[in-house]
Amino acid sequence: MNIPSIKVMLVDDHPMVQDGLSACLSFYDDIQIVGTCNDGSQALSTAQACQPDVILMDISMPTLNGLDATEIITEVLTDTKILIFSMHESAEFVTNAVQSGASGYILKDTNSEEVYQAIKSVAQGKAYFSSSIAKMLIDNPPTQASPRLTAREQMILSYIAKGQSSKAIAQTLDISFRTVEAHRRNIKSKLNIDSLAELVRYAVNQGLVDS
């Protein structure tokens, strides 16, 4: 009987990490490595080409970090799940990962069996966190900080401040009009700003556009 494969893509800027993951996951008949890349900026185009079910995503990478890449990929490829695979063990990184759209977070010292179980869990639409991460979040829940604009929201705000309509922004970024409108609402809610003039003023003050 054929076992349905979970298509997995690896994003990490260290070839040895990719090689190690590929070797470990090759022992599981229901895992298929369909793509790899070593830069967050390449991750979206690679993912669009290979259509993975799950992406194992590092955080610290050149050009575009894994959290920003996660936000963009989950926005465009809504059926692809992101599992963060990182050395960073802090509530702040985990919280930011979840806010960016990640379905799970495991550490790089995780054994291969747990990596496999994490992949299966997020592929089934469940959340998965390394046991140490889950315990840390329970023992030391992240403090409520002021909501931050994600990289995508900052980008969209810069276009808004330049006078572009939601339709024009959607065409520029190759996303739907509804997605842009959702970002607009989130930006206004996070910043507690209603008027366009105030949004422009905020963007200028933050250096997102020239004054």
Asked, for residue 210, whether it belongs to a domain, the answer is no
- Structural domain count, the chain: 2
Per-residue pLDDT at 169 exceeds 80: yes
| 10 and 110 part of one domain | yes
| 135 and 194 part of one domain | no
Determine the pLDDT at residue 205: 85
Per-residue pLDDT at 1 exceeds 60: no
Asked, for residue 193, whether it belongs to a domain, the answer is yes
CATH number, position 114: 3.40.50.2300
Report the distance separating Cα 40 and Cα 85, nearest Å. 13
| 34 and 66 part of one domain | yes
For CA atoms 153, 157, 158, 159, the dihedral sign is positive
Domain ranges, residue 91 = 6-139
| 168 and 120 part of one domain | no
**Residue, of 148 and 19, whose pLDDT is higher:** 19
Q: What is the pLDDT of residues 40-73, one digit of tens each?
A: 889 989 999 999 999 999 998 888 889 989 988 9
Per-residue pLDDT at 209 exceeds 80: no
Asked, for residue 104, whether it belongs to a domain, the answer is yes
Burial of 31 from C-beta contacts in 10 A (0-12 / 13-18 / 19+) = buried
Report the distance separating Cα 4 and Cα 47, nearest Å. 19
| 103 and 31 part of one domain | yes
Asked, for residue 48, whether it belongs to a domain, the answer is yes
Give the least confident one: 9-23, 103-117, 187-201: 187-201
Query: What's the pTM value of the predicted model, to 2 decimals?
Result: 0.76
Contact predicate 18/44, CB 8 Å? no
Contact predicate 52/35, CB 8 Å? yes
Contact predicate 94/129, CB 8 Å? yes
- Pick the most confident of 8-12, 60-64, 68-72, 128-132: 8-12
| 33 and 120 part of one domain | yes
* Last residue of one domain, picked from the residues 102, 119, 139: 139
Residue in the structure block whose two tokens are 């179980």: 117
Per-residue pLDDT at 136 exceeds 80: no
| 108 and 132 part of one domain | yes
CATH number, position 197: 1.10.10.10
| 94 and 155 part of one domain | no
Report the distance separating Cα 28 and Cα 113, nearest Å. 10
Per-residue pLDDT at 4 exceeds 70: yes
Report the distance separating Cα 184 and Cα 21, nearest Å. 39
Contact predicate 49/73, CB 8 Å? no
Band (pLDDT 50/70/90 cuts) for residue 142 is: low
| 11 and 88 part of one domain | yes
Give the least confident one: 58-72, 89-103, 128-142: 128-142
| 36 and 122 part of one domain | yes
Report the distance separating Cα 137 and Cα 60, nearest Å. 21
| 131 and 155 part of one domain | no
* Mean per-residue pLDDT over the chain, rounded: 88
| 19 and 95 part of one domain | yes
Asked, for residue 80, whether it belongs to a domain, the answer is yes
Query: Would you give the end-to-end CA distance of the chain in angstroms?
Result: 64
